[in-house]
Amino acid sequence: MEQRFFDAFQENPIIASVRDDRALRDALTTDVRVVFILYGDILSLPQIAEAVRAAGKLSVVHIDLIAGLSGSREIAVDYLRRSTCADGMISTHPNLVQRAKELRLFTLLRAFIIDSVALDALRSARSVRPDALDVLPGLMPSVIRTVREQTQLPVLTGGLITRKQEVLSALDAGALAISSARPEVWRM
């Protein structure tokens, strides 16, 4: 994992996930160090990422959610690298994570753990070697522990976390950081 991300997560293990301009403006006024960009399109994304950088924060784009970039084509990652100042990328597509690694972006492979089949499939993440796994939902401390042990990769988590005790449980289970779209969590 890139040292600047590790340092950012050590400084503040809460990540702001933003879904619109209003949430972005709010997140930029908090102490969070990392912002997950979950909205926009190929025209607005460069300005969104620049706003995050101008605020002194690291930006990670969920490429699967960006209009004009969604899908599993590696050219989308090339666009992200060449046309924005984004620091990293999230995707559920291993081939996009691999391409982002080649382009020296911080990489997160997102996985929705809905059953034991999904958990077993995550073991293949070792071959992709993302900088970290992004495991959802975040309310499963025992699953976070299992994923860390089985993959030997850093784990971030999020989804459905709303209370301080849930944040602490995820961190105690081995999550390096937690992401949330809820401003009240950003300020914990």
Q: Distance between CA atoms of 31 and 134, rounded to whole angstroms?
A: 21
Tokens representing 100 are 């982002």
pLDDT at 87 over 80: yes
Tokens representing 30 are 């908090």
Looking at residue 138, its amino acid is G
pLDDT tens, residue by residue, 22-55:
999 999 999 999 999 999 999 999 999 999 999 9
Looking at residues 120-148, what average pLDDT do you find?
91
Question: How buried is 49 (Cβ within 10 angstroms: 0-12 exposed, 13-18 middle, 19+ buried)?
Answer: buried
CATH number at residue 97: 3.20.20.70
Adjacent-strand bridge partners of 91: 109
pLDDT at 124 over 80: no
Looking at residue 50, its amino acid is E
Tell me which residue range forms the domain holding 56.
Answer: 3-186
Backbone φ and ψ of 28, nearest 5°: -70, -10
Q: Distance between CA atoms of 14 and 166, rounded to whole angstroms?
A: 12
pLDDT of residue 70: 86
**Pick from 76, 72, 79, 78: which is nearest to 93 by CA?**
72
Please tell me the total count of domains within the chain: 1
Is pLDDT larger for residue 2 or for residue 179? 179
pLDDT at 5 over 90: yes
pLDDT of residue 172: 98
Q: Following DSSP, what letter does each residue of 5-46 receive, concatenated?
A: HHHHHHH--EEEEE-SHHHHHHHTTSS-SEEEE---BTTTHH
